[in-house]
Amino acid sequence: MADRKFSEEHEWIEVDGDVATVGITDHAQEQLGDIVFVDLPEVGTELNKDDEAGVVESVKAASEVYAPIGGEIVEVNDTLTDNPALVNEDAEGDGWFFKIKIADPGELDDLMSEAEYKDFIAD
């Protein structure tokens, strides 16, 4: 498994070269409940770190999805459009949201390791 990092907004990011895959954490999907709609960014969109990248809606709430790092959207997980429940089934796997070409790898240093994230959500 590639190196995973986590944001305080409950996104996970997995880096492969200069492209990172982003999704919401298992913890986040549990808090949201049954996910019924996912709004994804368009390929080619340039985002800065912490920009809103999309929206995930559940039967309980709508929540923004943020870019944990800046860069250009190079791919989105179109499967989620027809099957948003995939986020509930496999949030940290097949339920990923988008892939982003990393503008500044130094921004990764601001994110948490898996152990740090576990401590963060335990509080």
pLDDT confidence of residue 2: 60
Contact 13, 21 (CB under 8 A): yes
Fold of the domain built from segment(s) 4-122: OB fold (Dihydrolipoamide Acetyltransferase, E2P) (2.40.50)
- The pTM of this model reads 0.96
Q: Rounded CA gap, 59 and 123, in Å?
A: 25
Range 42-62 burial, b when 16+ CB lie within 10 A, else e: eeebebebbeebbebebeeee
pLDDT grade, residue 123 (50/70/90)? confident
pLDDT confidence of residue 1: 45
Contacts of 43 (CB under 8 A, 6+ apart): 73, 74, 75, 76
63-116 tens-digit pLDDT: 999 999 999 999 999 999 999 999 999 999 999 999 999 999 999 999 999 999
